Amino acid sequence: MVGGDPTPVPDRFAGDTALVTGSTRGIGASVATRLAAEGANVVVTGRTKDEGEAVADDIREDGGDAVFVRADMRDPDDIAALVEATVAEFGGLDVLVNNAGVETNTGADEATIDDWEFVVETDFRSYWLCAKHAFAEMSRGSVVNVSSNHAHLTMPEMFPYNAVKSGIDGMTRAMALDFGPNVRVNTVNPGWVAIDRTTGEMDEERRRELESIHPTGRLGTPEDVAGVVSFLASDDAAFVTGANLLADGGRTAVMQDDTLPDYRARRLD
């Protein structure tokens, strides 16, 4: 099957420094690894030191340059200190990838104030604060906000995660206006990505069912998303700002889940 492991572009970010939030595992770890493979100095960050140090160690073993800085994205002081530590370590900041995220699997009728604050402070407020502090250190550069296809369509019991993801797209447009012209801001909206949180306990039948309703015929990988982030952060996207780019294998192009498998079966007859 084609895809799933995009090839890094050598020296794309040579001499640049990238900060990737929520990068101790999953999509964030893949983004950090991809940017490092393309020449960036990378700051890995999250709440779990052991996991974060492991990601930074792997990057260094592969010839890249990375450090881990622990930070809780719900703590504004931690965010300010994180950006300060990034600049102190590498002398500047060129790329910020806002990726930290949590969800509560609650409906709008049952979510509590604690649920709201947990998701909004982690997935939304931290994006603004990280970008605000990073912008103060950037003479030029790029911010990529990782949202979700839940900004475009959603499922039950995904509130306030889905509301926040829609908000990220709007925040990106606001930042593109306020941070331009020298700092670009864009959003990537992943769909189904095969990570422990989404597919770790999924049986093979359910996985095949999900794959069948994607025009690509497969679920995404963290590396798929990392490739899109790299593009948006790079000079290849020099005329792209305020945009949100779906990276969902075409999932949002399908109106009815049973349509695509049946259609393919008829075409193969």
Residue type, 260: L
3-state secondary structure 150-212: HHCCCCCCCECHHHHHHHHHHHHHHHHHHHCCCEEEEEEEECCECCHHHHCCCCHHHHHHHHH
The conformation of residue 139, written as its DSSP 8-state character, comes to S
Q: Considering 161, 179, 192, 231, which one is annotated as catalytic?
A: 161
Name the nearest CA neighbour of 173 among 98, 246, 242. Answer: 242
Those residues whose C-beta lies under 8 Å from the C-beta of residue 125, and which sit 6 or more positions away, are none
Q: Determine contact, residues 80/133, Cβ cutoff 8 Å.
A: yes
Those residues whose C-beta lies under 8 Å from the C-beta of residue 146, and which sit 6 or more positions away, are 27, 28, 31, 97, 98, 99, 101, 187, 188, 190, 225, 229
Please say if 161 is a catalytic residue: yes
Q: What is the crossing angle of helices 26-37 and 49-61, to 10°?
A: 30
Residue type, 229: V
Q: Determine contact, residues 66/59, Cβ cutoff 8 Å.
A: yes
Q: Is 45 exposed, middle or buried (0-12, 13-18, 19+ CB in 10 A)?
A: buried
Active centre residues (catalytic): 161
